Chain A
């Protein structure tokens, strides 16, 4: 397994994946169809890098205590696990909807595309660093570029969905938005339930 990992690393194929995910997401999607989702491990590495960069970027906004090192180690591991769960849930829900409307199940490919699509979010760290160095509204640009890079990620995922299922772009947008709408409604209903239960508990006291 280690030898396979080393040879895959030395082949620099992973550079091509990163290159195409940024420049040509549709070609990346075609590549993973051909290669049967083999670059899965690379997606995990990107998720880990995104987590670490996000922790460091957030740390740059204020003055950190020594607790920062715990955030950078244990905290990053925790956030990484949460991110992996988010990727799997998102891919699962996207695939669920695709199958529901008559497309083939491709959850493994979705996992790969979504995890690689996170790559632009790594750029948040150097961008925030620049604004921090010039003392120019770093928190504002942290939020602003978080949104910008999320939109970039979303566009990559949408193009990937469109390419994987030969789907129209607009329809792919709706498929991408489905998990957020679904989880949003679910969260809202859960919140209402918690509020009702809390009031019930408080009035019982």
Chain B
């Protein structure tokens, strides 16, 4: 064999050897890192506290922004609760609420789901943020224990249906609606005409029915009688300390206090891990971008406030 060929084959053999040694080196360092991570991560894989976050208005379908990142929505929240329910590590759940409430059915679905979790002896602790009013409080009442900040806006137990009456404006503009309907009440709460007394009575029945259900569920969740709640269930909003005074909440404290309480009630060690919701970095980036765009253009309010029609809601609506 030619001398040059021998040299080159030796070089190639050394290259292959260096590649193999490099892979072995990387693998060895990888293993040692895994050991370190394992020793540090022992508390992170055991029984712990799950976190469910409820932010913004509660509706069946969450808002979907310009970057196709859906946020909120009762179905997403229920899926999160179901995931925690299926996870054998979860011994307690902290429900972090920052919501003015929302539609009746969406709120009731979340309440029912939490009650089901509570019946399975999973400790539920609600932590109220800036606002947990109306439907937000409805959901909190499903928890065993409610921790509220002193400055939290809560309460607002009641039901509301709002529909604009644009009859005068329509007349002024000369707009007339052609309505062909199958029944007298088919266009109830339409914005182009006033409510008739019969329609008002019909809506009131609906409102009262939802209100009674609200009272019943809060009483059940808080282990109180309906008559204990009724005096404060006139739609009034209250601060955290007022809510504690009226027994609608249990303790003044932050999210950290709620976590500690959940660990204590579930008999978990003080350093038991917290399993919070995770979003992929791409989702976080797109949501940040979307938030920046909407805030800057002042569109957020328009997007959040716009509705195609009326809704009956458990919602604090100043």
A residues whose Cβ falls under 8 Å from a Cβ of B: 12, 15-16, 18-19, 52-53, 56-57, 59-60, 63-66, 68, 72, 122-123, 125-126, 129, 132, 201-202, 205
| B5 close to A60 (CB less than 8 A) | no
Given A64-B30, A65-B30, A56–B5 Cβ distance below 8 Å? no
CB closest chain-B residue, reference A16? B5
Restricting to B253-300, which residues have a CB under 8 Å from any CB of A?
A: 293-294, 297, 299
Chain B nearest CB, measured from A11 CB (Å): 11
Give Cα A72 to B23, complex, Å. Answer: 9
Chain A nearest CB, measured from B29 CB (Å): 6
Main secondary structure of the interface of B (DSSP, over half): helix
Chain B nearest CB, measured from A70 CB (Å): 13
| B18 close to A129 (CB less than 8 A) | yes
| B8 close to A52 (CB less than 8 A) | no
Chain A nearest CB, measured from B275 CB (Å): 21
B14 is an interface residue with CB less than 8 A from chain A: yes
Q: Max chain B CB contacts within 10 Å: which of A12, A57, A64, A126?
A: A126
Given A60-B22, A72-B23, A129-B21, A15–B5 Cβ distance below 8 Å? yes
B9 is an interface residue with CB less than 8 A from chain A: yes
Q: Report how many residues on chain B are interfacial, defined by Cβ distance under 8 Å.
A: 25
| Chain B residues with CB under 8 A of A126 | 14-15, 18
CB closest chain-B residue, reference A66? B30
| Chain B residues with CB under 8 A of A122 | 15
B164 is an interface residue with CB less than 8 A from chain A: no
CB closest chain-B residue, reference A52? B19
Chain B nearest CB, measured from A69 CB (Å): 9
In the A-B complex, the 4 residue pairs with the smallest Cβ-Cβ separation, listed nearest first, are A126-B18, A205-B66, A15-B5, A56-B22
| Chain B residues with CB under 8 A of A68 | 26-27, 30
Binary CB contact string for chain B from 1 to 29 against chain A (1 if under 8 A, 0 otherwise): 10011001100101100110111011101
| A60 close to B26 (CB less than 8 A) | yes
| Chain A residues with CB under 8 A of B12 | 18
B162 is an interface residue with CB less than 8 A from chain A: no
Give Cα A201 to B15, complex, Å. Answer: 51
Give Cα A57 to B5, complex, Å. Answer: 26
| Chain A residues with CB under 8 A of B293 | 202, 205
| B33 close to A125 (CB less than 8 A) | no
- Cβ-neighbour of B9 out of A15, A56, A66, A125 (below 8 A): A15
B residues whose Cβ falls under 8 Å from a Cβ of A: 1, 4-5, 8-9, 12, 14-15, 18-19, 21-23, 25-27, 29-30, 33-34, 66, 293-294, 297, 299
| Chain B residues with CB under 8 A of A60 | 22, 25-26
Q: Apart from A60-B22, A64-B26, A201-B66, list 11 A-B contacts with CB within 8 A.
A: A15-B9, A19-B5, A59-B26, A60-B25, A63-B29, A123-B15, A129-B18, A202-B293, A205-B66, A205-B294, A205-B299
CB closest chain-B residue, reference A198? B289
Give Cα A37 to B30, complex, Å. Answer: 43
CB closest chain-B residue, reference A59? B26
CB closest chain-A residue, reference B7? A19
10 A-B pairs with C-beta separation under 8 A = A18-B12, A52-B19, A56-B26, A57-B22, A65-B33, A123-B15, A125-B18, A126-B14, A126-B15, A205-B293
Q: Max chain B CB contacts within 10 Å: which of A19, A123, A201, A205?
A: A205
| Chain B residues with CB under 8 A of A65 | 30, 33
CB closest chain-A residue, reference B1? A12
Q: Max chain A CB contacts within 10 Å: which of B21, B22, B27?
A: B22
Chain B nearest CB, measured from A122 CB (Å): 6
Give Cα A203 to B34, complex, Å. Answer: 47
| B26 close to A125 (CB less than 8 A) | no
| B5 close to A63 (CB less than 8 A) | no
| Chain A residues with CB under 8 A of B15 | 53, 122-123, 125-126
Give Cα A195 to B47, complex, Å. Answer: 48
Given A57-B22, A122-B15, A64–B29 Cβ distance below 8 Å? yes
Give Cα A129 to B29, complex, Å. Answer: 14
CB closest chain-B residue, reference A130? B18
| A53 close to B19 (CB less than 8 A) | yes
Give Cα A59 to B9, complex, Å. Answer: 26
Q: Max chain A CB contacts within 10 Å: which of B9, B26, B27, B297?
A: B26
Chain A nearest CB, measured from B263 CB (Å): 30
Given A56-B22, A129-B21, A18–B8 Cβ distance below 8 Å? yes
